[in-house]
Structure formats: C-alpha cells, structure tokens
Amino acid sequence: MKITAIICIFAFYFFTSLTGCQQIESTKLSPALQSTSSPTTSQPGREKHPLIASWLAKKDEIIASRKPYDMVMSGWFTPEEAHQIKSHSPEARLLAGLTVNWVWNNPDWISFLTTVAGHGRETSFIITEDMYLKKPNGERCAFGWASKEWGHEEIYAIDPANPEWVGLVTSFYKNVLEQPQHDGIIIDMVLEKSLFPDAISDREWVDSTERIMAAIKEVNTTDKLVIFNAGRDFSEIDAYAEYMDGFLMENFLGKQLKTTFEDGLKAAETGFLVVYAVDTDDTGRQDMDRMRLGLTLSLLNNNTLFTYDFGPREHGQAWWFPEYDAGLGEPVGNYYLKDEAYYREFETGFVVASPNRETAIALDEEHIDVTSGERSRIFHIEKGDGRIYVKTE
C-alpha cells in the first residue's frame, strides 16, 4: 500500500496541576458527532452545522476567540482551559495527546511527555538512547522535520518494540485519559509502513505499533473518543482501524499530500468520524475557494467536521469565517449529485460543492449567499468552490 509521508508539527504544550481537576462530563460522542444520526441539540446562539474543529489548537487563541468550536485537539487541557472553551461551546469535545512512535528533539516537548507519563510514579520516566530506532550504522532514524527556516528540531523514530518506551507512552496516555476534562485522545503521525526498512520491516513496525495501540485501548477504561492523524487518507492507517473512532486528513485538498474532493467523499464512507483539515500549504495565503470547498464537503455527511489553518508547519490558528456561523440547523436528507455538483438541504438552507466545473443555480425562492451576502434566486459557483445559501426571512 502506498504511503505518503505524514507532515505535521508538534506544538509545545504546558500544563498545570494533574490533581484536583474539576469534573467535566465526558461522553464518547455528542449527538452532534454521531456518525449514524443527525445532531439533536444546538449550541447557544448557533444552530448546528457546520461542525468546526481545531487541530493542534493554539488554545489561547481558541479561548480568546469565544467561538463555539465542536472539537478542539491539542496536547493537553487544564481544567480552567476546558471550562473556558466549554463556556462558549458546552458540547465541544476536547481531545489531548501526542504520538506513539516518535520523539520531537525539543527539550520542552520531551519534558512534557515524560512528566505526564510519570505522574503518580515513584520513579520518573526518561527517554534513553536505546529507545531510538537506529540505522545499521548506529544513526537515529530521522523523519526529516528539522528546519532552520521554521526553527524546528528533528523528529526521531522510536523503536516501537522497546518495552521501556511502550511503558512510557502507555502511561502518558493513561494519565491523559484519566483527566476528566479530556473527552478523548489524539494520536499524531500514525503510519502502517516503515519509513526505515533497513532498520525495521513494515510487518515489525505495524505489529509493534498495534501492540502499543492495544495497550492504550486497555487503559481507555471509559471508552473515550480516539482520533488518529491519518495524513493523506484512511488507507494510510487502516491496519489500526479497531483502535480508533475517527481520523483526520491532514493538508486535505493541498499540494503537499494531494488529496482530492472525491478522496474526501470516500473517507466519509468508512463510517468513522472524519476531520477534513484544509490549510494554506504553509504559505499563510488563505484560499477561500479551497476553504469553502472543504467546508461544504464536510456538510454532505453526518460524520464529518472541518478545520482550516496555516498548515503542517504551524497548525491551530483560531481562524473563524462567516460561513462557520451559517446556522443551517438539521439536514433534511442525504446529499445528491446534480450536473457534477453536490447538494444537501438543511432546515434553513442548502449547500453546494462544485469541485469539477462551474455551477449555475436557479431557485424558486430568494436565498442569501452566506459568503457574499447577495440575495437572489440565481447564483453561479466557480469550479473548485462551494457555497452555503440560507433562506430569507
């Protein structure tokens, strides 16, 4: 199976006390995130849909934005951070975590990992040199993340069969899962193929990683939500399907991983929760057509969410667009295809995704284009764009 290198960045995370956490109710999936049914509740001041996520979130920005995110994913949430986010979005699901096969060569990141993993133990965890996966010449196996331009240190592969590492990373996720403010976990940089065949075979990599996933599943005693970063698509991680509830498609529609609209539709058919993570390809130039195409795609199914940020080199900006506030309410049917465009109707309007050609729309009643504010019965959508239309009052 073809593997595309997953490109991601670990933000660096700090946390306060691991004790005395206030209780925040945690459920596997809120009604708004069920893959088999439509949402049944609405957040204050915002009718459900679109469903908006944040991947490796900049938590301070999320909190300052006061916006009603549906899912926020980061390294850790303090009880106070969780309270602040949920005060504006009571149904938001907060997911925390790092990775199970990699170590970022950043001292603060390593300190965070080992401190959380060692909570409640008499002896601390440390990352030793023999935990790293090594080439035949003794060099560590590097992912290729180091960059002077971006100020990023290297990310190194860990030997997934090393028992000390397995104990450390399992303890990390156990302590993350036991915090009541966390509704689930994320696992970044998931691969089902060895990037270093001279150090470890594909089979050895997958088998050892699967044992780590199984250990984490065992400590997930309350069955909290588990989301993997799949990188390009589900085929990159399907070997671990039994250990996850959903996956994120990084750099979706972007130039780096080259996923297509049709790939996104296929991903939704897996039945897993899917997060379409569209970005600027690390340029900072916001492509609103691409953003809207990904957003409208996320509205075609019930098991999909959307996020848009800078890109793999710096995730998590709290960007919020007028389309996020469309307030479409409940879907009133499944999506359908007409003249190569994808449509879905909602209580207060409808969405159109037009990935392959320009689309002309003629309506019986006047609607408002949420993006432009235009009121009309006739609209045109450019190729590679998507639009949300709401009924006039």
Amino acid of residue 101: N
CATH fold of 332-393, please?
Immunoglobulin-like (2.60.40)
pLDDT averaged over the chain? 90
Which class in CATH covers the domain with range 31-101+112-121+163-328?
alpha beta
Question: What CA–CA distance (Å, rounded) separates 11 from 316?
Answer: 9
Condensed to tens digits (0 to 9), the pLDDT of residues 260-290 reads: 999 999 999 999 999 999 999 999 999 999 9
Amino acid, single-letter form, for residue 253: L
What pLDDT was estimated at residue 185? Answer: 98
CA 184/CA 188 separation, integer angstroms:
13
Whether pLDDT at 24 is above 80: no
pLDDT > 50? residue 228: yes
The percent of residues above 70 in pLDDT, for the chain, comes to: 88
Give the pLDDT confidence score for residue 105 in this predicted structure: 97
List pLDDT tens digits, range 196-214: 999 999 999 999 999 999 9
pLDDT score of 20 more than 70: no
Given this model, what pLDDT does residue 393 score? 76
Q: Exposed e or buried b for every residue in 266-278, given b needs 16+ CB within 10 A? A: ebbebebbbbbbb
Whole-angstrom distance, CA of residue 318 vs CA of residue 65:
7
pLDDT at 48 (0 to 100): 80
Q: So where are the chain's domains?
A: 31-101+112-121+163-328, 332-393
For residues 44 and 47, the model is more confident at 47
pLDDT mean over 333-357: 97
* Model pLDDT, residue 45: 39
Burial 88-124 (b: 16+ CB within 10 A, else e): bbebbbbbbbbbbbbbbeeeebeebbbbbbbbeeeee
Residues 140, 129 contacting (CB under 8 angstroms): no
pLDDT at 18 over 50: no
Give every CB contact of residue 154 below 8 A, 6+ residues apart in sequence: 104, 105, 142, 143, 144, 145, 146
Would you state the pLDDT for residue 2?
30
Parallel/antiparallel/unpaired status of strands 341-346 and 273-279: unpaired
Q: What is the pLDDT of residue 47?
A: 61
Average confidence (pLDDT) over 353-376:
97
Over residues 131-159, mean pLDDT: 97
pLDDT of 57 strictly over 90:
yes
| Backbone phi, psi, residue 231, to 5° | 70, -115
pLDDT at position 4:
33
Of 15-29, 224-238, 260-274, the least confident = 15-29
Say how far apart CA 248 and CA 267 lie, in whole Å.
10
